[in-house]
Amino acid sequence: MKPIKVGLLGIGTVGAGTFTVLKRNQEEIRRRAGREIEIAMVADLDTERAKAIVGSSVVVVKDAHQIVDNPDIDIIIELIGGYGIARELVMKAIANGKHVVTANKALLATHGTEIFRAAQERGVMVAFEAAVAGGIPIIKALREGLTANRIQWIAGIINGTTNFILSEMRDKGLDFDVVLKEAQRLGYAEADPTFDIEGVDAAHKATIMSAIAFGIPVQFDKAHVEGITNLQASDIRYAEKLGYRIKLLGITKRVANGIELRVHPTLIPTNRLIANVEGAMNAVLVQGDAVGATLYYGKGAGAEPTASAVIADLVDITRLATADPEHRVPYLAFQPNEMSDTPILPMSEITTSYYLRICVADKLGVMADITRILADGAISIDAMLQKEPADGETQTDIIILTHQTQEKHVDRAIAAIEALSTVVAKVTRIRLEELS
């Protein structure tokens, strides 16, 4: 059989990794796919660099349209990123009848509905294993391995940059800003780390997982997105004393009246496996009704780990290219006409437990005032810690862990606590998940 022809759009770190792994494991990949997979064209603005990577047997062009318009190309791999030109090229490739492999979580989380609809109409595949948790085959697990299950919730460490920063803050007792600079120096964080540290990258990935887990459209605009920029080293220390680690989690959960979709720093009991995922590693915990909890761990970024996911998609497409479109795996796991309109809940409606750090004047009655406000709001206290004021200091921190309650009750209680004359700063609230 003739090789399947691939056009690669963007040959940065992941593109180069894809080229290298495909070449190195060519024979084994051919035996699995049933035919040879050949990168025939590459588009990159830096054509000289691209040529140095791929050699003279591959056509290198500056204008990616030359690839998406070429009738000899069967599959395009989109590794440009972002929602601008990448969206235009993906839509054009689909219109031209090409299958698409992409690592672009931002594009899928925001324009997935439009992209999957167009692909469905044109009968082509859009595969995106590399978009969530890099080399971990979590899309495959959710879309195929767990199809027997009613998924109950997913909680993932799906951003390596922030997990590295949190690990360093905990290990070395350093503040966020100091660790971020070090992470940038070591190449763990981008020069512009905004999407990572503000939780946006994790929210893109959580949005994609929520769609596949629950058969709902991708709805990034409904996700609650909170990063790690406001986390204090002291919160990590207090959490540790109470038996918890703080991780940036992407959480999506099925509850009675809808679906929760949220990214925020989260206390997790230290004895959970996922709480011990350190450095730039990723992990996703999935709770299904039949299988129970399953945990997927590995590298969420990097040239070859991400290439591993990109090539797995190439192999899937190669195997299924001649199958009837209706016999292929649905883009979002559920058949397109079986999607549900279960709403994603506003944050005020979510239910979880809370860590509250309250900085107070060390005066008689302050603790009683706070516990009264919590009791009036039907918020039950699970644990409490009061730091002794340092010598000569007149204020101190009170740490409270609550039992499960609705976010709106906590919003009201925090407003009342902050109105007390003895409370000297804004209350720090970090959500807590037992993940049991």
DSSP 328: S
Which of these segments, 157-165, 214-222, 250-258, 407-415, binds ligand HSE (CB under 6 A)?
157-165
Q: Output the smallest distance, CB 14 to ligand HSE, in A.
A: 9
Nearest to 22 by CA among 321, 318, 322, 310: 310
Q: Output the smallest distance, CB 429 to ligand HSE, in A.
A: 25
Which of these segments, 113-121, 156-164, 168-176, 340-348, binds ligand HSE (CB under 6 A)?
156-164
Q: Is 129 in the site for ligand HSE (CB under 6 A)?
A: no
CA 132 from centre of chain: 6
Beta strands, E only, 325-375:
351-361
Strands 224-225 and 258-269, by their bridges, are: parallel
End-to-end CA distance of the chain: 50
Which is closer to ligand HSE, CB of 160 or CB of 199?
Answer: 160
- List phi, psi (to 5°) of 334: -100, 150
In angstroms, the CA 22 to CA 39 distance is 9
Site size toward ligand HSE (CB under 6 A) is 7
Binding mask 297-316 toward ligand HSE (x if CB under 6 A, else -) reads: ---xx---------------
Q: Output the smallest distance, CB 324 to ligand HSE, in A.
A: 33
Residue 38 in 3-state DSSP?
Answer: strand
Return the residue matching tokens 């079986």. Answer: 338
Q: Output the smallest distance, CB 142 to ligand HSE, in A.
A: 17
Of 159, 210, 219, 252, the one binding ligand HSE by CB under 6 A: 159
In angstroms, the CA 86 to CA 67 distance is 13
Which is closer to ligand HSE, CB of 142 or CB of 157?
Answer: 157
Q: Is 160 in the site for ligand HSE (CB under 6 A)?
A: yes
Q: Output the smallest distance, CB 195 to ligand HSE, in A.
A: 7
Catalytic, 2? Answer no
Nearest to 79 by CA among 47, 39, 115, 44: 44
Q: Is 161 in the site for ligand HSE (CB under 6 A)?
A: yes
Beta strands, E only, 158-241:
224-225
For the chain, what is the largest distance between any 2 Cα atoms, rounded to a whole number of angstroms?
83
Active-site annotation holder among 205, 222, 247, 253: 205
The strand pairing partners of 401, in sequence order, are 355, 383
The strand pairing partners of 276, in sequence order, are none
Beta strands, E only, 149-271:
151-157, 224-225, 244-255, 258-269
Report whether 148 contacts 320 (CB < 8 A).
no
Binding mask 255-294 toward ligand HSE (x if CB under 6 A, else -) reads: ----------------------------------------
Which is closer to ligand HSE, CB of 12 or CB of 145?
Answer: 12
Which is closer to ligand HSE, CB of 131 or CB of 356?
Answer: 131
Q: Is 196 in the site for ligand HSE (CB under 6 A)?
A: yes
Which is closer to ligand HSE, CB of 306 or CB of 422?
Answer: 306
Q: Output the smallest distance, CB 161 to ligand HSE, in A.
A: 3
Residues that bind ligand HSE in the complex, under the rule CB under 6 A: 159-161, 196, 201, 300-301
Among all residues, which ones are annotated catalytic? 205
